[in-house]
């Protein structure tokens, strides 16, 4: 499934394959980033922190979108609340929150109108029901190749870190646009290698 | 009934431990939450799930399950199959939904654990 992931057309009311979220946390991440883009974000910061000693996995997604009012924020975990007009239920945040709570963690969202939104999900790393991160490469590719926003990504596992920003990538590519066919393969390799470098070396 | 016969009746695809399908299946259990499986499934049960990560092999091995049916056409990680071969845990796949698999198992006389 790697590399085949795409951002949903934000105006389309299609229902996602939510069953796959039971298998991969990266699909929750993709959904949260889609929410950021729908909120008009031009910048998204995604941080995945794995602290094995403290046994926590923390996923933080921060955007500069239009943000939410207190009232919207209070209802964000209600599956019958959505800002979309194309369907009347939004499952993304409630399912993400349920997954975190099931694993001894939590999901919190802070937001300010006109400033942006920060979503933070925590999981007990070793919890038996914690799904693996899954296809992070495919998820990042979908976000980057959509070209809709700048992305700052950081993945830390204990002391090791893999981080990059789309600004760095653009600088590296020079005049070649992100959408050029060879860029996809280059990016895929770049991200794969970065992720592999985080694996335990034993 | 043995897993071998279940596999044939439901046209399952055997992905690992093809030589270990001869144990008598004592019952069935279905869940995608590993914590539920740990709490409820019994030794010799066949377990129906859509999970495909390596932890399913650990659970099946710990509980001495007869085997795992991964339903809904879900993929099973390469690392999972490798582990399943090492642990001799049969993993069988099908495009049938979990509901249909469980229904078929019931019709074959495989009881639930309650």
ipTM, two decimals: 0.71
pTM of the model: 0.82
- pLDDT tier at A73 (50, 70, 90 boundaries)? confident
Q: Is A1 on the interface with B (CB under 8 A)?
A: yes
User: What six digits make up the tokens of B12?
Assistant: 């399952």
Choose the closest CB to A19 out of B33, B34, B72: B72
Cβ atoms of residues B80 and B74 within 8 Å: no
Residue A14: the pLDDT is 44
What does the pLDDT average to over A53-58?
A: 97
- pLDDT tier at A23 (50, 70, 90 boundaries)? confident
Residue A22 to residue B35, Cβ atoms within 8 A: no
Task: Pick from A19-28, A127-136, B9-18 the range whose average pLDDT is largest.
Answer: B9-18
Measured between alpha carbons, how far is A7 from A17 in angstroms, rounded to an integer? Answer: 13
Residue A10: the pLDDT is 42
Residue A2: the pLDDT is 45
Residue A179: the pLDDT is 76
Task: Please count the other Cβ atoms lying within 10 Å of the Cβ belonging to residue B81.
Answer: 18
Residue A19 to residue B51, Cβ atoms within 8 A: no
């Amino acid at each position: 499934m790697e590399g085949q992931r795409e951002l949903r057309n934000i105006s389309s009311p299609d229902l996602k394959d939510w069953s796959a979220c039971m298998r991969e946390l990266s699909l929750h991440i993709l959904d949260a980033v889609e929410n950021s883009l729908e909120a008009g974000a031009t910048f998204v910061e995604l941080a995945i922190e794995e602290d094995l000693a403290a046994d926590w996995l923390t996923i933080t997604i921060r955007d500069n979108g239009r943000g939410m009012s207190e009232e919207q924020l209070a209802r964000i975990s209600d599956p019958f609340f959505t800002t979309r007009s194309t369907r009347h239920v939004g499952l993304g945040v409630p399912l993400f929150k349920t997954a975190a709570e099931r694993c001894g963690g939590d999901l919190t969202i802070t937001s300010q109108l006109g400033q942006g939104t920060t979503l933070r999900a925590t999981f007990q790393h070793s919890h038996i029901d914690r799904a693996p991160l899954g296809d992070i490469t495919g998820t990042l590719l979908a976000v980057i190749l959509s070209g809709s926003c700048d992305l700052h990504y950081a993945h830390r596992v204990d002391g090791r870190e893999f981080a990059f920003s789309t600004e760095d990538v653009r600088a590296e590519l020079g005049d070649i646009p992100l959408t050029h066919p060879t860029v996809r393969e280059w990016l895929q390799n770049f991200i794969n290698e970065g992720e592999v470098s985080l694996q335990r070396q034993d | 009934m043995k897993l071998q016969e279940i596999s044939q009746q439901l046209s399952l695809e055997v992905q690992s431990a093809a030589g270990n399908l001869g144990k008598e299946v004592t019952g069935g259990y279905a869940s995608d939450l590993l914590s539920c499986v740990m709490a409820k499934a019994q030794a010799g049960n066949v377990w129906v799930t859509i999970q495909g990560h390596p932890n399913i092999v650990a659970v099946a091995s710990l509980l001495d399950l007869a085997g795992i049916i991964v339903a809904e056409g879900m993929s099973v990680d390469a690392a999972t199959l490798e582990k399943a071969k090492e642990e001799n845990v049969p993993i069988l796949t099908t495009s049938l939904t979990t509901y249909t698999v469980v229904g078929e198992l019931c019709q074959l006389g495989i009881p639930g654990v309650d």
